[in-house]
Amino acid sequence: MKFNRKGFTLVEIMIVVAIIALLAVIAVPNLIKAREATQRSTCANNKRLISDAIDQWALATNQAGTAVPTDGDVAPYIKGGAVPTCKVGNAAYTLGGTVAAPVITCTSGVTDHNAASGS
């Protein structure tokens, strides 16, 4: 007896769906962790960029021992002419401290986001 088989059985479709679900369960948490690590790294790099701009501002204006300047003073020393924002919620950075020891804080509110120091 010859069967004319066109298509897939329900069991075959269920097996394929189960395999796809298993791969998703494995992949999604790793993707989330990678995204968070990338955001922390980008934030730390932005802080270093701002810190370097503060140093350049201090050298150009001969104000090495003063308080940290405002965003507007630092912006010309950053490529693009603007202080970067954190990619998490488009949050700004707050500047404080002195030129010798700047304190640059991300205002995104993400836990562990300010652990990586930019200065």
**3-state SS class at 46:** helix
Distances (CA, A) of 82 to 20, 28, 45, 46, 76: 44, 35, 15, 12, 7
2 versus 51: which is more confidently predicted?
51
Instruction: Kindly provide the residue ranges of all beta strands, DSSP E only, lying in 34-101, ordered along the sequence.
Output: 93-97
Length in residues, the chain: 119
The string of DSSP codes covering 90-110 is TB-EEEEEBSSSEEEEE-S--
In whole numbers, what is the pLDDT of the chain averaged over residues? 86
Asked whether residue 112 carries a pLDDT value surpassing 80, the answer given is no
pLDDT at residue number 106: 87
pLDDT category at 116 given cuts 50, 70, 90 is very low
Asked whether residue 91 carries a pLDDT value surpassing 70, the answer given is yes
